[in-house]
Chains A and B, each alone.
Chain A
Amino acid sequence: MKKYFSITNALGAWAAVVIAFLFTPILFLVAMSFNEFKSIFKWTGFSTVWWSRMLDNTTLTSSVKVSIEVAVISTLLALVLGTLAGLTLARKPGKWTAGFVGVILLILVTPEIVDGAGQLSWFVRLGGPFREGLLPIVLVHTVFSSAVVTLIVRARVSGLDARLEEAAADLFATPTRAFWQITLPLVMPAVLSGGMLAFTLSLDNVVSTSFVSPAGVTTFPNYVFGLSGGIIRPEVAAMATLFIGATLMAVAIVALVLRRGGQSGSEIAATFTGN
């Protein structure tokens, strides 16, 4: 006899509702990029005109450029800092580990508004390069993301057999060579997912960015945040769609690369979400 009600079915139905809930606003935003009217809050008909007008809005495009530049630079910095720290935490533990991990955990649980407020006060005191250009934004973005990269790399290295590096040393590899030829390739999956997380965290950041942004420099999310309350034109929705689409594409590519490397879907999902 077929069972129509089972716990699994009920849970599955609940999951479907949750996924629908999570997708609803995103789908509305995408749909509104094809609106004919000049606001995303009233649908009048289908049109692709805003997609072509998107590039004429120079404030919009330059904010996107700032976002991408900041994300690229801060990701590279976070990767260097986080990979070195993660490797050291896993391979050279000692009395210092507890304190260092403590700082990292504090970074992860401090509300961003507190960081942002403090960073603004600090940068105002320092002045000079800390109040102009992309530097202040890049710096504050690296704090959280390098902490995340550190934890991901540490988890990966802890799971690796230390004898692999010892074997390299036995085979006359210098420490530098062992790092480039043995350790780094083995840690690469963690570096890759950490880098992707760092990149999206940078693109997502609004709060500390709004605190430290110098006059005249705006990231895309902060530009949109500044528009809220007034009319938002469909070109912003079009750019948002492009933005979300590109992010998801990058996530998918990294996931595929990791899949090729032999990781399961679950493992990839766990690392991507920082678990």
Chain B
Amino acid sequence: MAATLGAQPRQQRTWLRAPKFLLAIPSFVWYVFLFVVPVCLVIVNSFGRKVTGSPGKVDLSSPSLDRYHEVVSGSFASLLKQTMFTSILGTVLCLLISLPVAYLLAFKVGPKAKTAVLALLMVPFFANFLLRTLAWRIVLQPRGFVSNFLQSGHWFTFGQALRSGPIQILDTRTAVQIAIVYNYLPLMIFPLWVALDRVELHLREASKDLGANRIRTFLQVTLPLAGPGIVAGLILVFVPLSGDYVTAALLGGAKGNMIGAEVANQYFKAQDAASGSAIAVSLIISILLVLGVLATCFWFISKLLKANRAVAVVAR
């Protein structure tokens, strides 16, 4: 007994001597070295000038905002706008398509069916990103599955208009939009499902008992409670989506380009790391702007829902 009492304070003292976060230090150093420094370098490089002949190097002897002038005045600005539009539309489509599936998983199926559906959804989630994107080229090509299906006899009225020639979906914005929704759909379904799943059943039942119908319960009880999870899902889809250029490069051709591809072009083809950095920073600023607008919208919506709820309570 005495030994235990003696050992205890000594152990505590060893812990006190080392900083609390001792074991997190390797990670911290890792992140500073491989994330913080590189991202800061992108910001610094965006004020520099290209060094001919060595990709990745930037001349910082006379820092200026010239690269940003080029971004704002050149074709990049419209490409950036187009990218934001594609990303917002893609995120909204992902949300609308995912919500019913997540709702079904969270509230409407038993544990066995739930496990089965989740297992099915795991397959595209874990199938290699690049390979499943490339596979869309097979599906969407002229004379491919979608084109032939739309032109087949089942679509009598529709078909006439579409039958003039092979349908060109590949290498257009439409193809990029379809594949983007496809690629980020699993990333949206799972967070939404988890967010809804954590809403307790008895809160929804209480709402029903108090006379709210399905839609009202969803809008005023389920949605606000799942709100933070849904917002997290939106951010985790929107941000990587707007920086994604692989999907656009594989399926968009010349027409479906996204701004990320321009960053890569500047680095590898033009060998201009300064312009590439400026475009990358502009991308981050655009993302933050959109997120800012989104935050304002959510604030407004939650105010609105709360106001409605207050009226309902008073009426009762």
Contacts and interface: CB of A to CB of B under 8 A. Distances in A.
Interface of A: 7-8, 11-12, 14-15, 18-19, 21-26, 28-29, 32, 40-41, 80-82, 84-85, 87-89, 92, 94, 96, 100, 103-104, 106-115, 117-125, 139-140, 142-143, 146-147, 150, 169-170, 172, 175, 200, 203-204, 206-207, 210-211, 221, 224-225, 228, 232, 240, 243-244, 247-248, 251, 255, 264-266, 269-270, 272-275
B2 interface: no
Contact of B21 (A100, A104, A125): A100
Contacts of A247: 126-128
B124 interface: yes
Contacts of B243: 111-114, 207
A117 B42 contact: yes
Interface in B110-150: 111, 114-115, 117-139, 141, 144-145
A23 B136 CA distance: 11
A15 B36 contact: no
Contact of B104 (A15, A40, A80, A103): A15
B159 interface: no
Nearest to B115: A265
Contacts of B45: 121
Contact of B120 (A19, A82, A119, A146): A19
Interface in B176-209: 182, 185-186, 189-191, 194, 197
Contacts of B23: 84-85, 87-88
Interface of B: 4, 7-8, 11, 14-15, 20-24, 26-28, 30-31, 34-42, 45, 54-58, 97-98, 100-101, 103-105, 108-109, 111, 114-115, 117-139, 141, 144-145, 182, 185-186, 189-191, 194, 197, 214, 235-236, 239-240, 242-246, 249-250, 260, 263-264, 267, 273, 276-277, 280, 283-284, 287
B104 to A, nearest CB: 4
B245 A28 contact: no
A25 B136 contact: yes
A88 B42 CA distance: 31
A120 B267 contact: yes
Q: Which 5 A-B pairs have the closest CB atoms?
A: A111-B243, A118-B38, A265-B115, A25-B135, A124-B56
A259 to B, nearest CB: 9
B273 A225 contact: no
Given A110-B39, A139-B34, 19 more contacts: A8-B109, A15-B104, A18-B98, A24-B139, A28-B138, A88-B21, A96-B21, A113-B244, A113-B263, A117-B273, A118-B42, A120-B273, A125-B41, A142-B34, A207-B243, A221-B129, A266-B111, A269-B190, A275-B190
Contacts of B119: 255, 265, 269
B54 A124 contact: yes
Given A29-B134, A110-B39, A94 B11 contact: no
Contacts of B126: 200, 247-248, 251
A184 to B, nearest CB: 13
Contact of A25 (B14, B138, B287): B138
A8 B104 contact: yes
B132 A29 contact: yes
A118 B41 contact: yes
15 contacts: A18-B101, A22-B182, A25-B138, A84-B23, A88-B22, A96-B20, A115-B35, A117-B280, A122-B41, A139-B34, A169-B8, A225-B246, A244-B132, A265-B119, A269-B190
B38 A92 contact: no
Contacts, number: 288
B69 to A, nearest CB: 20
Contacts of B20: 88, 92, 94, 96
B214 A7 contact: yes
A111 B239 contact: yes
A114 B284 contact: yes
Contacts of A18: 97-98, 101, 185, 189
Nearest to B117: A15
Contacts of B28: 85, 100, 103
Contact of A32 (B138, B190, B239): B138
B130 A225 contact: yes
Contacts of A248: 122-123, 126-127
A8 B108 contact: yes
A85 B31 CA distance: 12
Contacts of B145: 24, 28
Contact of A114 (B114, B141, B236, B280): B280
Contacts of A8: 104, 108-109
Contacts of A150: 27
A273 B30 contact: no
Contact of B194 (A120, A122, A142, A270): A270
Given A84-B27, A85-B24, A204 B194 contact: no
